[in-house]
Amino acid sequence: MQRKKTAAAKKASFPDGSRLRIGIVVSDYNADITHPMLAGAQDALASCGVKPNNIRTLHVPGGFEVPYGCLALLTEKKRYDALITLACVMKGETTHDVYIATAATQGIMDLSLRYGVPIAFGVLTTNTLAQAKARSTGKHNKGTEAAFTAIAMATLK
């Protein structure tokens, strides 16, 4: 059985990010979930040497708006080596969550392929608030994982 890597072990396996420019698009809807994910992503980027001046964070209202936020960063004069998306779409009483998550996922993938820039997918799709909280803090913070993914993908080029 293979053990999961700790955050420190994951960091050690990633290249130096000191020359990377990273954009982060974070949804402010469910901010009690997405803002800790943002903090996790920022900490992970810093631990890999990404300079604070090379990180641009763009806040958008909700998960549906994340692809447009990515487009805004991708069409800036500054070129990004990778983007990170952070949002939380939770199941409700209707299937609204499915439509939002599907649209966000497709939009993010389309932009990544069209612009040739990796976009790390940090969009939580959970059934409950408890699941979302468990994935937005501590060692299971999906923002941290998305940041490590962005660094790995940015260095593939």
User: Could you report the per-residue pLDDT of 102-142, keeping only the tens digit for each?
Assistant: 999 999 999 999 999 999 999 999 999 999 999 999 999 99
> What residues act catalytically?
96
Compute the mean pLDDT over every residue in the chain, rounded to the nearest whole number. Answer: 92
Distance separating alpha carbons of residues 129 and 56, to the nearest angstrom? 28
Please tell me the predicted confidence (pLDDT) of residue 6.
Answer: 52
Q: Distance of CA 113 to CAs 8, 22, 116, 156, Å?
A: 30, 17, 5, 15
pTM score of the predicted model: 0.90
Residue 22 DSSP class: E
Query: Which one, of 87, 83, 81, lies nearest residue 15 by Cα?
Result: 81
The list of the chain residues with pLDDT below 70 reads 1-14, 157
CATH superfamily of 20-154: Lumazine/riboflavin synthase (3.40.50.960)
The helix-helix angle for 66-74 and 96-115 (nearest 10°) equals 10
